[in-house]
């Protein structure tokens, strides 16, 4: 009987040691959740100064309605935009897209957001037919009234 208990004790020790000796994760890997590829911003276009526009992106801080606002603040260059188009790729994979033709200063495009981080892409097409991606960024949710 003592022999069986000794064998069981040795087996327990072996299992414990084996469990503690798992291989280390590869260098450069993280143990946290990884970001899906559709939420990774891409480089934006190099916009010539004569095509420069001002775009404001904002996310509501109220968890029950985390909307995203994209506002065309006007052009700082001399070439007028003919279309401002915004696309929101939400963290849940849903894509929304809105556009404004011949937008006056202050034109707002509204989207449904999430209570996590979403991606916003803004493209501008100009009256001469040229087009640029002027913004591509992540917009995190920031609850200013944590419960």
Domain assignment present for 54? yes
Among 20-24, 28-32, 71-75, the range with the most confident prediction by mean pLDDT is 71-75
Q: What is the CATH number of the domain that holds 118?
A: 2.60.40.3760
pLDDT for the residue numbered 34: 78
Domain count, the chain: 1
* Share above pLDDT 90 across residues of the chain, in percent, rounded to a whole number: 66
Owning domain of residue 68: 49-139
Contact 106, 73 (CB under 8 A): yes
- pLDDT (tens digit per residue) in 39-92: 899 999 999 999 999 999 999 999 999 999 999 999 988 999 999 999 999 999
Domain assignment present for 109? yes
pLDDT for the residue numbered 142: 87
Residue with token string 């916003």 = 120
Domain assignment present for 64? yes
pLDDT for the residue numbered 29: 47
pLDDT for the residue numbered 134: 97
| Mean pLDDT computed over 109-122 | 97
Beta bridge partners, 5, equal: none
Contact 76, 52 (CB under 8 A): yes
Task: Establish how many alpha carbons lie within 13 A of residue 74's alpha carbon, considering only the half-sphere containing its beta carbon.
Answer: 4
If you average pLDDT over every residue of the chain, what do you get?
85
Domain assignment present for 16? no
Q: Which of 14-18, 44-48, 72-76, 112-116 has the lowest mean pLDDT?
A: 14-18
Residue 98 has pLDDT above 60, yes or no: yes
Contact 40, 89 (CB under 8 A): no
Q: Per-residue confidence at 13, pLDDT binned at 50, 70, 90? A: low
Domain assignment present for 95? yes
Domain assignment present for 20? no
Give the span between the Cα atoms of 29 and 93, in whole angstroms: 24
Domain assignment present for 128? yes
Enter the pTM of the model. 0.74
Domain assignment present for 11? no
């Amino acid at each position: 009987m003592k022999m069986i208990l000794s064998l069981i004790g040795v087996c327990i020790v072996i299992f414990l040691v084996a469990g503690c000796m798992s291989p280390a994760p590869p260098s450069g890997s993280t143990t946290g959740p990884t970001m899906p590829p559709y939420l990774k911003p891409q480089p934006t276009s190099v916009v010539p100064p004569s095509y420069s526009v001002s775009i404001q992106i904002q996310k509501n801080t109220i968890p029950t309605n985390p909307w995203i606002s994209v506002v065309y603040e006007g052009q700082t260059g001399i070439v007028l935009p003919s279309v401002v188009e915004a696309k929101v790729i939400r963290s849940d994979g849903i894509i929304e897209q809105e556009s404004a033709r011949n937008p006056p200063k202050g034109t707002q495009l509204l989207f449904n957001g999430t209570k996590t981080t979403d991606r916003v892409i803004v493209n501008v097409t100009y009256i001469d037919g040229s087009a640029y991606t002027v913004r591509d960024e992540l917009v995190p949710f920031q609850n200013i009234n944590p419960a």
